[in-house]
Structure 1
């Protein structure tokens, strides 16, 4: 007999970038606030994403331990370093947990510019970076329940994935989904935009009651409305990029259209520079 599943979301606040910072417009640059999601049954648990800094990962590990479950798996939604650098710390606390991701995401993880991240967040990353292993199946299991891996293609990152837990009416969007938080759109092209919107429609078609974004403003509810907010942000960015004549003008236009959204910094739009 299967047990009843539950979930909790760990919210990590935004982090100031105190190293060599890319193209600043406006305020001091910062890294987006982030989430990690614990899905757990009566005895076991699966953690989705591992955060970035050593301090964040230590706090996350202590939070996971408070649930008094056997952490069997850490699943990484995509290959951006900010979602898996904390694996080193988590493996220290939970050495039996397997650390996995989709094959394409594993390839991207292995190519991450760790030295760039260390310049942006000096002294904050683990000394050694643990890479997630490629996982070839499209389903994880937890006490008889399916956690379904959804291949999403190129959205925030190439070979992104989301996770669907039907028994909880839950989607963990990874960076396919943002929630009241400015998005990483430096790689956006018309083709990527089309795929990203289709990926969001894929999440909406599941009719989730809970939708957890990879990056979200602290205090924002994990509601499916975030799917529409993400779509609107993407289409607005694409429109304003056509209507403005410089990076600075585009930055100001998006700031005006989305006041109060978290961590609006120029590197999110224009890359590391």
Structure 2
């Protein structure tokens, strides 16, 4: 919950259906609200708005792609957040409606302490299943396109407790995803998008990517989830410094970072 009683959007009803009840998240890309679906008797949903500062045609198109990706992938995988609807408020601000989830992102979960092996294996398997679904691709304008997430990190996995299925992890935020097909043109924008500590060197360099870039980011995520530390550290928080670190630095080992951690050799080899 975010304390923001002055938000003018609270109480508004979108497309005669979704009443905004509470601001629950915000960042540079926009805001997320808890809302009530009045058409379905007040069922709780989440609504994500694109930030007012990003209302260019290019960003609106990217936002619509994000919604469409979430709708298709969320229908196919339990481990990707489901997008349920899309619209434009007052002919200007685009939004999309998601399933409402009560839980924490994985970054907050491990802030207290790293995961134990059993919980690690369960949640990482869920992330892998979600990513596998994305990498298998979706249909966009009649073309089959592989989806590369490009921002895999602990804060983009959400952990919930499902009454029937137990603890689940879901992949979030396909906002900067890249869509690949045999005929598609490069989707690079000329400016870096991603999170430097988790990015593959080819992503930082602006090169064409495939699913291996997400797998690299997943490896760093796995290391951090088990130890509370990332295996690579740049000297400064600049693009050049992080590029050099990812490309040339020897990653720290589990023994160096968490000498008391005991994990199977096969898991160590998999992550490294």
TM normalised by structure 2 equals 0.28
Higher relative contact order (CA 8 A, sep 6+): 1
